[in-house]
Structure 1
Amino acid sequence: MFRLAGLATSVSCKRGLTFTTIAAAARSDKSSMRLFAHSSTATQTQAQTHPQAHHTQNDDNFQDKSAPLRADIKLLGRALGDTIRARDGQATLDRVEELRALSKAWRRNGTGESFDALVAAVHRLDATQMHSVARAFSHFLALANTAEQHHRERRRRSARIQEAAAHAPPPNPLSTPTGFGASAPAKALEGAQPGMLNSTTAAGVLRELTQGSAPGFDQPAPVVVDANAVFETLCDSTVELVFTAHPTQVHRRTTQRIFVSVAAALAQRDRTELPEEIAAAEDDLRRQVALLWTSDEVRREKPTPVDEAIAGLHVAEQVLWEAVPRYLRSLSLRMEQLLGRPLPHHLSLFKFGSWLGSDRDGNAFVTPDVTRDVILRGRWMAAELFYHDVDALYYELSVTSCNEALQRHIGKQTVAEPYREVLRVLREKLRLTRDLARQQLQSLGQSSILTHGGAYSPHPAETATQAGSLPASSSSRSDASPSLVTCSNDILEPLELCYSSLVDVGLANVAQGRLLDTLRRVRVFGSALFHWDIRQESTQHAKALDAITRYLRLPVSYGKMTEAERVAFLTAELESSRPLIPFAFTRDPAILAWLREQFPEDANMIVDVIDTFQMISEQHPEVLNAYVISMTRDPSDVLAVYLLQKAANVRVPCRVVPLFETVNDLDNCVGVMRRLLDNRAYRRIVNGFQEIMIGYSDSAKSAGRVAANWAIFKAQQGLVTLFEDANVRLRLFHGRYVSMGLV
């Protein structure tokens, strides 16, 4: 078998790419490479195309753990070959088959003659033929990757079935159901991977912690941890995954959906033994392969920051929305089995952050308007998804009895269906919130910011203001409407009342169904699906403060201050009660004219920085997660962001996260943070908690991976010691990137 970390989404007609693609296919498993069989799939027997049927005819072959995978790849290869023949003709398929045979011969023989024959065959292709051949091999590799991912899940599932059977008590013949309605026991796939459920899964980790793991080279004897300690530690943990935008590593959502459908059809084919259902699943596979071959692999327009954010929101909607509660339900079951207690219903363990549409470091197209837009889209999508969840709960919870707390919340003496009354009100709030967000998006859509990717506007707040923005929060805005959802608590509180009431009246099993899944979604996704980080480079803040101090005619402008003078100035301003600048600083035509005259090259950037903090002041604190400062090198870099938030009247400041990413910055980060910890204004603001981001890419590029990893290790070790001594909680944010294929 072969494994590819990523698949190219664009196909070039250059011979180099064509040869590379063919060579990659040649390195595949020999039997799996029979990808474009000339015989039609209609003539294949069930035993040849279905793993379970194949098992009945050839037990020895089925013992090979890869046999079902090879069957899947052959089926997909035949479907692709049939599609190529039908769409591009037999001649195209013959060329692909010729190159496949030559590449296999070179792989088998390793001789110069074999290689020369393959190169000569590639050189005989014209540009159009080369394009078709490259697409054929590229699509086959992508389909084979999908089949392999499905096979891993198939083997993991089989391992879980075997594990459950091994730990299950012996059946009681008096209580085991028989006859009509009795379910057959789940069957495990022979050849399930040993150790599949080890430390790579939650169940494996919990079992190793509480029951001991096998001794290793650095562990002479198993170590057993008390189950209560494991439970408390797990409940006190939170994992936050942050989505970032890397346009060079993304795939089209169109092709991603096709591969998801292929995996679903393979799974459906595994779950049934009925011939008509097997045939239907294989028909669906052939349809998806035909769609893949006839769809464009690349975007013809450069994605905008809004496009990237929409792609991330679709991942939340189409994948995470169902996966998160399902995983938490599975984890809770494992905790109950291995630790004696399930996951408490009020804990989620997960959060999702986002830099999509809010990472402006080096990206001039990410403006305050763009960030407003993507946050608004997140709120609209969250309201839409929660609306459907609450609507389903409304029709499910027809229960007539409730506790006193729920009755008091309703405020009526006689309500036949109290849960539906509460859910009806919440559903209406979600509908109004969703509709208002949609209206705002439609209004914003008339501007160039959405249609052309972000030409700079000197007045970024005006569009949202004219559209009638969603209120920031009922606690920070006096005009907040009680009929709208402004934060997750507006959804959480009525649902918690329903949950507690159901438990109190003896319906805990009902409360722990759909309602519990919705409660967990609220805690994970909040009111905007993601918690957005703002990121900007440190020198941009310094330029903005230099412009402000020059406009205020201070004796020494910020740009000419020493580091000690900057820290003294920032500390004094943070402790002062007067505002640093007028609230509408960048909306004054005279000030804008002065900025463009004094800073002809940086005026737009300065306005953008100041307006970004104005945008932050408009958002609910729940929506914005942190402000990350790239290239943090001095204490003033951190204090400057706190001062700019104060100047913009941000009532609940975003936590400021310094990012240390070069080797020099990693070496100096402990000293920078020590000086900050000695600053009285800083200690008051952070209130005993600091998050620090550790960068990986820049340090590796400048010093190499070994030196970079050593610098990262030393930095983390020094920071942990420093903050422990200062009695300040420290959280490390690791900037290691994995491509998700979003666009």
Structure 2
Amino acid sequence: MLGRMLGEVLREQEGQALFDQEERIRRLSIQRRRGPRAGRAQAAGLLAEALEGLPGEQIEPIIRAFTVYFRLVNLAEQHHRVRRARAHANTADAEPQRGSFEATFHALRRAGISAAQAREGVRRLEIILTLTAHPTEASRRTVLSKLHRLAGYLEQRDRCRQTPAEKERALAAVREEITALWQTDEIRHERPSVGDEVKNVAWYIEEILWNLLPEVTDQIARAFGRVYGEPLGPTPGPVRVHSWVGGDMDGNPRVTPDVLEDAILAYRVRGLRRLVRAAQQLGDALSQSSRHVTPPPALLASLDRDAERLPEVAATWNARTEGEPFRRKLRFVQARLEATLALGESRRAALHRRMETHGSEPPPSLAMPLGNATAYGSPEELSADLELVADTLALAGCARSGEHEVRALLARVRAFGFSIAELEARAPAEDARAAAGTLSSSTTVQMSSGAARLLGALDAIARAQRESGETACRTLILSMTQGPDDVLAALACARAMGLGAEGKADARGARIDIVPLFESYQALTGSADIVRALLDHPDYREHVRARGVQEVMIGYSDSSKEVGLLAATAALRRTQEALPAVASEAGITLRIFHGRGESVARGGGPAQEAILALPPGAVAGRYKATEQGEALDHKYARPELALRTLELVLGGALLHTLDAQPRAAPEDLKRYAAAFDEMADAGRLAYRALVWEDPQFEKFFSTATPLDAITRLNIGSRPSKRASGGMESLRAIPWVFAWTQNRAILPAWYGVGTGLASLGETRGGLALLREMAASWPFFRALLSGVEMVLAKSEISIFTRYAALAPEDARAAIAPRILEEHTRTRRWVKRILGVKKLLDGNPTLQRSIALRNPYVDPLSYLQVELLRSERTGNHPRDRELLLTLNGIAAGMRNTG
């Protein structure tokens, strides 16, 4: 239906000739892949001829036609996922959907986990989603908004029995939205600001997660009751939402201390506005009269205290709420929230005035009241009020007339506090070392810009904590941590800037978690020794015990770019085996923070499968991971998608925590790990030999990919490189993005075939590989990801990009890539025992087979546009950038 409407829009807006041209290109592309084998080469030639001969005025409309088609295809697939889940839920006596809460509890029960053990496991769960501004969302917010409205029309079409007139109006609305989508520019005219990114990420929290989190807790309770036949009982919400957006200073000079402080205030003001509306709505709803309901003494006593402390509020509402004690209580709550919001808005307005006046100059001190008698001092005070209301409603016999709604709001407060997200700060470890060195120097030393920024950020965090409590921002992540001194330096800086455990610079601890981020292969390999040295340090050990947990972040991106997928995956596994043992030795609670991306080369893959593949003991009730860029729209654009995402993450964490998944015997796991490490070493040597040791590789990479165009695409506020330099300074996201655009997707498989062959060609090697795939979730998850990427890759298209490279670079590099791709495909199929990639996942296989023919024309055009740009003949920068968006939409991935 959506495709047909797009065709109508094309004819109306661009004319029949353009539509006929697009249809001819589409048919040739399909024949090239799925037509009779004898005619495929001819179809490929005709396709290339048609695209090379396109009149100049038709190039952009053709690119946009395929791009908009992919937008609609992605929307239809998302809608199908929602429809399938709903149909499954409505089928009587059906098996629970795979990965659902009910399926998880059935798996626990089959594994011998009692109701009491399962209940305790749920109560221990702590899932933290950290939303980031990593630039992997190529679509403009305005385009996404139109797609979200289209999703709403499809939802209504499925759920409501419409009259013929209503159907006609709905279809007209869909057609109008597609027309508006066609008429909207796909390309951002300027790079988004940090403030734009804050607004973007706030949309997903406010419109989806805010309302969803209480529902998640209810769904867990219902599934537990169905499986175990008894109530789950009171359970704290297991999910918390954090954000790096506005606090990530790693390589982004646009995130200044003032920007960080503004982000904290923006999240706080948005959260308080939501809370004010929620309190007002509850006050409207809780109309129970003391004539019909006996108010418990605890409620009446709290009203007396409120009236004494807030006489002006009492004078305003006493007459209006006479005989309605619950409504009166909510009016006091509303008034206190309004006062808290007013403080936040005043604070933010003053900050903006200061930023406009002083710009980048060192700001003067800003005297602001820290609160007033009406405002709430902390989210805990609000929680206490809401808990009192919920408890007294239950005592008064109002469990079915308001208690559930109050507890839902209470769950939101416990999950979010006053802010829609808890900000986290990230800074390079070298800035912490430089700042600490300056602070401890007995002589006047010129402070580096990075050191000054970090100290300014810590000062802003200290101020925010004084005004809003610790949850405003209580995490500092140190990127590229190389040793314990990096973390100790950050702790010293935090103390010096007013974050001492007792508000004193000389306090031994600090009111902030210092999180080392191990990203490089060397850092991952040495991470256990670094953490052990930290926990052996008396001051630091005291600090961690006071904080209650030591968080350690592991990066999936830079290590993969450095040594290839196999070696990076092996290092990550060893790290997660070693760190829990180090924490256990020190008697410290550990939380591992997974810095995953969406692509396989950056740790992406099915959420539950990835969690279950982690080493034993690596979760222990606590799971934290980044959600980046395009992942937000894929996973959280609609409540049903978000719920499915959360149930997969929560279910995986619960199964892993209670060790309820089948595992191989310890001696077998040891044997598998040793074999994998040998394969990983072979893969690392092959990958390094190509990417880092061949002098022709960088020239080939820069010319056989659209990297230069990617750097011009305004998809994020931060630069594509951490610093000036070559490939070593290029971030992992544009590295993966470039290889995805030329359809090779090299970072996700190069070296894997060599590694598999190094074991598979030995005596009994293939049998061992098949045993590992069947019995070891870690290896199975890796193979699954590589298989998917190989199915998505298109080497015949890649060779067209390779032809753009200079002859010497192409001759040195391209044959090795083709050979490794063939080798990797062959070994993956042999191990999995399939004739065709993804034979074990026909749904995904069909989706990729249907998409690829529609991506191909965009790739052909991108090659021609790159060639034209580089030869100086009629460069078409705008059309080139449009192909980046289109291929990203078709591949459903950037970096």
If the length of structure 1 is used for normalisation, what is the TM-score?
A: 0.73
Q: Against the structure 1 CA distance between its residues 201 and 630, is the aligned structure 2 distance closer, same or farther, given a 3 Å change threshold?
A: same
Matched, 1:680 2:573: no
Q: Against the structure 1 CA distance between its residues 409 and 679, is the aligned structure 2 distance closer, same or farther, given a 3 Å change threshold?
A: same
Q: Against the structure 1 CA distance between its residues 689 and 330, is the aligned structure 2 distance closer, same or farther, given a 3 Å change threshold?
A: closer
Q: Secondary structure at the match of 2:550?
A: strand
Query: 1:293 pairs with 182, 206, 209, which one?
Result: 182
Deviation per CA, 1:422-476, whole angstroms, max 9, x where unpaired?
11111122223333433444444456679xxx963322x64xx26x36x3xxxxx
Matched, 1:150 2:79: yes
Equivalent pair of 1:486/1:527 in contact (CA under 8 Å):
no
Query: 1:699 pairs with 526, 541, 559, which one?
Result: 559
Q: Against the structure 1 CA distance between its residues 445 and 518, is the aligned structure 2 distance closer, same or farther, given a 3 Å change threshold?
A: same
Deviation per CA, 1:252-300, whole angstroms, max 9, x where unpaired?
2211121112122112111233333332322221121112111121221
Residue of structure 2 equivalent to 1:113: 42
Equivalent pair of 2:96/2:102 in contact (CA under 8 Å):
no
Deviation at 1:698, TM superposition (A): 1.2
Matched, 1:256 2:128: no
Equivalent pair of 2:286/2:402 in contact (CA under 8 Å):
no
Deviation at 1:731, TM superposition (A): 1.0
Residue of structure 1 equivalent to 2:97: 197
Q: Secondary structure at the match of 1:535?
A: strand
Query: 1:526 pairs with 410, 417, 433, which one?
Result: 417
Matched, 1:89 2:2: no
Matched, 1:646 2:495: yes
Deviation per CA, 1:155-207, whole angstroms, max 9, x where unpaired?
11111111xx227xxxxxxxxxxxxxxxxxxxxxxxxxxx7702x22121112
**AA of the residue aligned to 1:655:** D
Unaligned runs of 5+ in 1: 1-74, 168-194, 213-222, 472-479, 554-593
Deviation per CA, 1:635-665, whole angstroms, max 9, x where unpaired?
2111111111111121351111111111111
Alpha-carbon separation, structure 2, partners of 1:388 and 1:203: 34
| Residue correspondence of structure 1 range 45-56 to structure 2 within 5 A | none
Equivalent pair of 1:387/1:427 in contact (CA under 8 Å):
yes
Q: Against the structure 1 CA distance between its residues 438 and 151, is the aligned structure 2 distance closer, same or farther, given a 3 Å change threshold?
A: same
Unaligned runs of 5+ in 2: 308-317, 504-509, 599-627, 633-714, 716-895
Query: 1:731 pairs with 569, 574, 591, which one?
Result: 591
Equivalent pair of 1:380/1:433 in contact (CA under 8 Å):
no
Alpha-carbon separation, structure 2, partners of 1:145 and 1:286: 17
Residue of structure 2 equivalent to 1:141: 70
Query: 1:483 pairs with 362, 374, 380, which one?
Result: 374
Q: Aligned pairs, how many?
A: 566
Query: 1:458 pairs with 342, 357, 362, which one?
Result: 362
Matched, 1:328 2:198: no
Matched, 1:426 2:333: yes
Deviation at 1:696, TM superposition (A): 0.9
| Residue correspondence of structure 1 range 597-612 to structure 2 within 5 A | 598=446, 602=448, 604-612=449-457
Residue of structure 1 equivalent to 2:711: none
Residue of structure 2 equivalent to 1:78: 4
Residue of structure 2 equivalent to 1:48: none
Alpha-carbon separation, structure 1, partners of 2:143 and 2:205: 18
Alpha-carbon separation, structure 2, partners of 1:357 and 1:104: 45
**AA of the residue aligned to 1:662:** S
Q: Secondary structure at the match of 2:418?
A: coil
| Residue correspondence of structure 1 range 198-597 to structure 2 within 5 A | 198=98, 200-210=99-109, 212=110, 223-274=111-162, 275-345=164-234, 347-400=236-289, 401-411=294-304, 416-446=323-353, 456-459=360-363, 462=365, 465=366, 468=368, 471=370, 480-550=371-441, 552-553=442-443
**AA of the residue aligned to 2:125:** S
Q: Against the structure 1 CA distance between its residues 627 and 341, is the aligned structure 2 distance closer, same or farther, given a 3 Å change threshold?
A: farther
Which shows bigger deviation, 493-502 or 722-731? 722-731
Deviation at 1:395, TM superposition (A): 0.6
Deviation at 1:104, TM superposition (A): 2.6
Deviation at 1:512, TM superposition (A): 4.1
Alpha-carbon separation, structure 2, partners of 1:733 and 1:449: 37
Q: Relative contact order (C-alpha < 8 Å, sep 6+): which is higher?
A: 2
Residue of structure 2 equivalent to 1:622: 471
Q: Secondary structure at the match of 1:533?
A: strand
**AA of the residue aligned to 1:256:** L
Deviation at 1:735, TM superposition (A): 0.9
Which shows bigger deviation, 706-715 or 97-106? 97-106
Q: Secondary structure at the match of 1:166?
A: coil
Equivalent pair of 2:482/2:523 in contact (CA under 8 Å):
yes
Equivalent pair of 2:210/2:412 in contact (CA under 8 Å):
yes
If the length of structure 2 is used for normalisation, what is the TM-score?
A: 0.61
Deviation per CA, 1:285-321, whole angstroms, max 9, x where unpaired?
1121112111121221101122112211121111112
Q: Secondary structure at the match of 2:407?
A: helix
Alpha-carbon separation, structure 1, partners of 2:525 and 2:495: 30
Equivalent pair of 1:269/1:277 in contact (CA under 8 Å):
no
Alpha-carbon separation, structure 1, partners of 2:195 and 2:136: 16
Q: Secondary structure at the match of 1:659?
A: strand
Indicate the structure (1 or 2) with the bigger Cα radius of gyration: 1
Residue of structure 1 equivalent to 2:522: 664
Equivalent pair of 1:228/1:339 in contact (CA under 8 Å):
no
Q: Secondary structure at the match of 2:498?
A: coil
Which shows bigger deviation, 120-129 or 409-418? 409-418
Please give the root-mean-square deviation of Cα atoms over the aligned residues, in Å. Answer: 2.3
Query: 1:720 pairs with 580, 584, 592, which one?
Result: 580
Deviation at 1:136, TM superposition (A): 0.6
